[in-house]
Structure 1
Amino acid sequence: MVDFGAILRTIGDFGLFQKIILLGLTLPNVFLPLFFCSFLFMESDPDRHCNTDWILQTDSNLTTDEQLNLTLPREDDGTFSKCQMFVPVNWSIGSIRENGLNETRGCQNGWVYSRAMYEATVVTDFDLVCDKSYMAEVVQAIFMSGLLAGSFIFGPTAESYGRRRTTQLPVVLMQIFVIVAGVSPNVYVYIVAQFIVGTALGGYRMNSTVLATEWIGVTKRSFASCLSQLFAAFGQCVMAGLVYGIRDWRKAQYIIGGAQAFVTLYIWWIPESARWLLEQGRTEEANQLIRRVAAINKRKIPDNLLDEVTREREVKSGGIKDIFTSAVLVKYLLIVSFAWFSLNLGYFSVIFNVGKFGLNIFLVQFLFGITEMPAHLLCIWFLELIGRKKSLISTLLTGGVFCLLTLAFPRDCAIVITALVTAGKFFLNWAGSVCLIYIQELFPTSVRQTAVGFGSIAYRGAGLMSPLLNMLAIYHWAIPILVFSSLAVTSGALVFLLPETRRTELPDSANETEGNRNMSTKKMGSDSNVVEQNGRNSTKL
């Protein structure tokens, strides 16, 4: 029976069809970072004071300074209180001036916010200040929890319902709930909407990449993962420009919804993975897709090849059970998941400390995006030049060592430490691109999506744990750096136990994974010769 890799080489493994589907599935990654903007770009403690317009009923000609002096207590540093006001009284303005007000309470009628940086944010619209200031962090945590939930839900689900459906559904959910978040009347509706958006975003990132990868041949297979990461980095730059120009989170949500509508329209034309269809025994559907791809790529396929495709195949159920019945697959899953966890723990620990750089937040966000782009471009080249295994080992070890080196300098060496941390973040981000392609190539089609889902759980879990790790700095500033750097170095060492997958076919069964991981280009060449010979024989007939 001809394997799917041989079929791809016959119909074109990186022709016009692959380029169109690759662009269609990776382009939305430009928009995905924009979904973070409503809670990333907000002042957690904006300049404000209690609304005390009640006093204007006694004298509507009061100046702003007079109003504040009469109605607000002052802090020890002489500034007006942000969370307290004097209790309103039914006195004349003369009595208030003469006797003054002494009894205080929390703000009763909302706040008046400074609009110096933003016109409106989630914090100012929902009054997430003073006794509700913790809600800003809750919003971020719930969104990150949504990303984690997306890995739980859409990873294993794709094994049963296909890559196409579990790519389309997240797009629709993001389209609906990004608008719902924008029109939210209160913070609770906003939180629910953001959780669903996070869930859908996490599902789309995984499934779209796997769907594109399963249509691409071995020589260009790294493109799907690296391009999705590259577009996401560009999206960070777009996000900085969007918020800098808009400064109103609700308007930004509507613009994001408009951009997402473009994806929602064309996503229905993205085809299913023929590789997955064959594994499910749906050979007639796979046959039709293969014919369409061959026509788009302007390739001719021999009839006997289609006979091989439509022949009854054993249906592989897949799922997490298949992974845990194989010691080899369990080892692969643990090592790659640990590497993904370690690099993301370090990456987000650095990201969440960005405010300590002392630069303009829009500039920092733009620089973070623009400096990530070279990592993903280099990743495409290095993956084919030195392979997946050496790429992952070198990036994890280098990123971890750069971060560890910051401990050798005193804290007042800000420039040196910032340079080392930025370099470490660069290599950890690069390692993330390698992990995304590596985990797909290590597992067979029947459990590939499940493995990517579990790897993503580790990845997203690290994002949730990174703020907690940074909190350990209260005991000693070096503890977070020591922990995530050591984990990165350790995970890099463990990658030595993994096989190389460069220029090998994606495995379709656990047997191929366990016993045939050295499928070289020599074997691929022989498969192509068989197909070509069959084609010539078919022509003679």
Structure 2
Amino acid sequence: MVEFGDILKAVGEFGRFQKWLVLLICIPNFLTPFHIFGQQFIVMDVFHYCKTSWLHGLNLTQEQELNLTIPKKPDGSLEECTMYTPVQEDLESILKYGLNATEKCQSGWVYPEVLKPSLLTEFNLVCDRKDLHDISQSIFMAGLLVGALVFGPLSDRIGSRWSILIQLLLMGSFGVGSGFAPNFTVYIILRFIVGASFAGMSISMAALSSEWVGAPYRALALVITHCSNALGQMALAGLAYSIHDWRMYQIAGSAPIFVLFFYIWVLPNSARWLVTKGKVKEAKQLLQKAASINRRTIPEELLNQLAPEEKAKSGSVLDLFKKPHLRRMTLIMVWVWFADSLVYYGVSLHVGDFGLDIYMTQLIFGAVEIPSRLSCIFLLQWLGRKKCQAAWLLLGGIVCVFIPVVPKVGLLDKIHPAIPMSLLGATALIGGVLCFFLPETRDKDLQDDTNVKSTSNVGSNKVVNGWKEQKEDGQITESTKSTYL
């Protein structure tokens, strides 16, 4: 039976069809940074103080009233989270003896410098409620976890195409819906669903592009889609700078996803997935269409060899832990992805903590990613994936450990200021070391199943890292070979 990789070579590994597919994937990738990083622009800290009314009607100026109701810091500015405890005495007694007892704000806060409502000012995410911002971001990340666990298997069941379409609809609908949230609890729930759909869409899009693009061009395709994400981060800075009303900002950042409704007609399915599901006729038609777009022809005898594998027992995620080599790789990759996400989001979600203009910082963050991602095209082919992943994790870990100017992971910083820095650095360093235990996947086709190719002792050919060992009558010879597993 012919391997799918051989069919893909006849179709064209990165022709017009694949380039069109990469472009289709780039568009939602350009739009997704809003959902990940957008909240930080509508919860920026602003000057505030307790709302007080117990001295109203006494013919006082605003400054006089604030001096009598709000305590001051040593630098002369107003306290943001405390107020003087109201008393029954007359104004003359208050002016003569003053007030000493203080308490937390009882009737909300005043934001004198805010012209447009933000998420922070509308839901009062200040003082004792300030942690709700970090908690909401954590819940959004929990949505990513749930989305990966739910939509990953769903993509395998219904195919990447339909999975992407469903997740685009969810992201757009609940993203826009969050702009109409009546309270912060509803907002958090909607954000959780958006996070889940984003995770599922990311997995489905990566799978779809990897299954259509040949091994030599796989890194190029993924890097291009990631660069569109970096461009989206740069555009996010402009959107946030232009729209200050948080509800309009939420709608403006989410609604463009609905423009992608035409994906129903143009987004292709995965021919590889169709073959694994026994839909060989559909797979052949799709492969012939792709070859036609690439101005190539698949030999009839080659296409006729395409057939589904023998019916195998349905698998599950637990199968990844039943075989030693899969268990080892799975556990390592779990930690590597954890380290990548922790360090990347730990820095990116706190661009406001650098002491610079938040909009310019976001613009720079996006711009820096473009050359760094483009350089991966050459580094991945030169050094391979394993060494690159290990090197960047180790470098990131070292930087987090030794450079003190690291953004804080807000909740942990209140326990001890060294925790965020140590956590980011140690996690990345461990991940970098573990990468050396992974196999190299450079220039290798995707494997269609979980089995390791085994060979017999006599008359067998074993291909390992580009070397072919031939065992015949006890004699072993070695020869180089361009191998695509």
TM-score, shorter chain, exceeding 0.5: yes
Structure 1 residue 340: Cα displacement: 2.5
- Corresponding residue for residue 110 of structure 2: 112
- Corresponding residue for residue 393 of structure 2: 396
Q: What are the Cα deviations for residues 498-535 of structure 1, in whole angstroms up to 9, with x where unaligned?
A: 3222212111122356777748595669x9xxxxxxxx
- Corresponding residue for residue 158 of structure 1: 155
* CA distance in structure 1 between the aligned counterparts of 2:450 and 2:110, rounded to whole angstroms: 63
Confirm whether residue 33 of structure 1 aligns to residue 33 of structure 2: yes
- Corresponding residue for residue 432 of structure 2: 492
- Corresponding residue for residue 68 of structure 1: 66
Aligned amino acid, residue 108 of structure 2: G
Structure 1 residue 172: Cα displacement: 0.7
* CA distance in structure 2 between the aligned counterparts of 1:216 and 1:66, rounded to whole angstroms: 71
Aligned amino acid, residue 291 of structure 1: Q
Aligned amino acid, residue 439 of structure 2: P
- Whether contact under 8 Å (1:26, 1:209) holds in the other structure is no
- Whether contact under 8 Å (1:237, 1:370) holds in the other structure is yes
- Corresponding residue for residue 376 of structure 1: 373
Aligned amino acid, residue 261 of structure 1: F
- Whether contact under 8 Å (2:37, 2:348) holds in the other structure is no
- Corresponding residue for residue 12 of structure 2: 12
Aligned amino acid, residue 211 of structure 2: E
* CA distance in structure 1 between the aligned counterparts of 2:57 and 2:304, rounded to whole angstroms: 87
- Whether contact under 8 Å (1:279, 1:315) holds in the other structure is no
Structure 1 residue 308: Cα displacement: 2.1
2:447 to 481, 491, 507: 507
Aligned amino acid, residue 279 of structure 1: T
Structure 1 residue 286: Cα displacement: 1.1
- Whether contact under 8 Å (1:279, 1:313) holds in the other structure is no
Structure 1 residue 34: Cα displacement: 0.8
- Whether contact under 8 Å (2:83, 2:104) holds in the other structure is yes
* CA distance in structure 1 between the aligned counterparts of 2:317 and 2:195, rounded to whole angstroms: 23
Name the SS for the 1:47 alignment partner: coil
- Corresponding residue for residue 129 of structure 2: 132
Relative to structure 1, the CA distance from residue 133 to residue 6 in structure 2 (aligned partners, 3 Å threshold; closer, same or farther) is: same
* CA distance in structure 1 between the aligned counterparts of 2:378 and 2:264, rounded to whole angstroms: 29
Relative to structure 1, the CA distance from residue 346 to residue 189 in structure 2 (aligned partners, 3 Å threshold; closer, same or farther) is: closer
Aligned amino acid, residue 283 of structure 2: A
- Whether contact under 8 Å (1:349, 1:469) holds in the other structure is no
Structure 1 residue 245: Cα displacement: 1.9
- Whether contact under 8 Å (1:280, 1:315) holds in the other structure is no
Relative to structure 1, the CA distance from residue 517 to residue 153 in structure 2 (aligned partners, 3 Å threshold; closer, same or farther) is: farther
2:78 to 74, 77, 80: 80
Relative to structure 1, the CA distance from residue 167 to residue 137 in structure 2 (aligned partners, 3 Å threshold; closer, same or farther) is: same
Name the SS for the 2:304 alignment partner: helix
**After the TM superposition, which residues 124-203 of structure 1 pair with which residues of structure 2 at under 5 Å, given as runs?**
124-203=121-200
- Whether contact under 8 Å (1:401, 1:489) holds in the other structure is yes
Relative to structure 1, the CA distance from residue 311 to residue 499 in structure 2 (aligned partners, 3 Å threshold; closer, same or farther) is: closer
Aligned amino acid, residue 505 of structure 1: D
Percent sequence identity over aligned pairs: 37
Q: What are the Cα deviations for residues 354-381 of structure 1, in whole angstroms up to 9, with x where unaligned?
A: 5553222222222222112211101122
- Corresponding residue for residue 365 of structure 1: 362
* CA distance in structure 2 between the aligned counterparts of 1:315 and 1:272, rounded to whole angstroms: 22
* CA distance in structure 1 between the aligned counterparts of 2:336 and 2:5, rounded to whole angstroms: 28
**After the TM superposition, which residues 22-421 of structure 1 pair with which residues of structure 2 at under 5 Å, given as runs?**
22-43=22-43, 45-52=45-52, 63-75=61-73, 77-85=75-83, 96=91, 99=94, 106-115=104-113, 119-266=116-263, 269-309=266-306, 313-314=310-311, 317-351=314-348, 354-406=351-403
Q: What are the Cα deviations for residues 428-474 of structure 1, in whole angstroms up to 9, with x where unaligned?
A: xxxxxxxxxxxxxxxxxxxxxxxxxxxxxxxxxxxxx9666656644
Structure 1 residue 352: Cα displacement: 5.8
- Structure 2: where are the runs of 5+ without partners? 456-461, 467-479
* CA distance in structure 1 between the aligned counterparts of 2:316 and 2:252, rounded to whole angstroms: 39
TM superposition score normalised by structure 1? 0.76
* CA distance in structure 2 between the aligned counterparts of 1:70 and 1:488, rounded to whole angstroms: 52
Name the SS for the 1:511 alignment partner: coil
Relative to structure 1, the CA distance from residue 45 to residue 256 in structure 2 (aligned partners, 3 Å threshold; closer, same or farther) is: closer
Aligned amino acid, residue 157 of structure 1: L
Structure 1 residue 88: Cα displacement: 7.4
- Corresponding residue for residue 458 of structure 2: none
- Whether contact under 8 Å (1:281, 1:313) holds in the other structure is no
Larger proportion of helix: 1
* CA distance in structure 1 between the aligned counterparts of 2:88 and 2:415, rounded to whole angstroms: 51
Aligned amino acid, residue 321 of structure 2: F
- Structure 1: where are the runs of 5+ without partners? 407-416, 423-464, 528-541
Relative to structure 1, the CA distance from residue 157 to residue 380 in structure 2 (aligned partners, 3 Å threshold; closer, same or farther) is: same
* CA distance in structure 1 between the aligned counterparts of 2:172 and 2:70, rounded to whole angstroms: 44
* CA distance in structure 2 between the aligned counterparts of 1:283 and 1:472, rounded to whole angstroms: 58
Q: What are the Cα deviations for residues 125-153 of structure 1, in whole angstroms up to 9, with x where unaligned?
A: 11122332222222111111111211121
Q: How many residue pairs get matched?
A: 463
Relative to structure 1, the CA distance from residue 28 to residue 482 in structure 2 (aligned partners, 3 Å threshold; closer, same or farther) is: same
Aligned amino acid, residue 172 of structure 2: Q
TM superposition score normalised by structure 2? 0.84
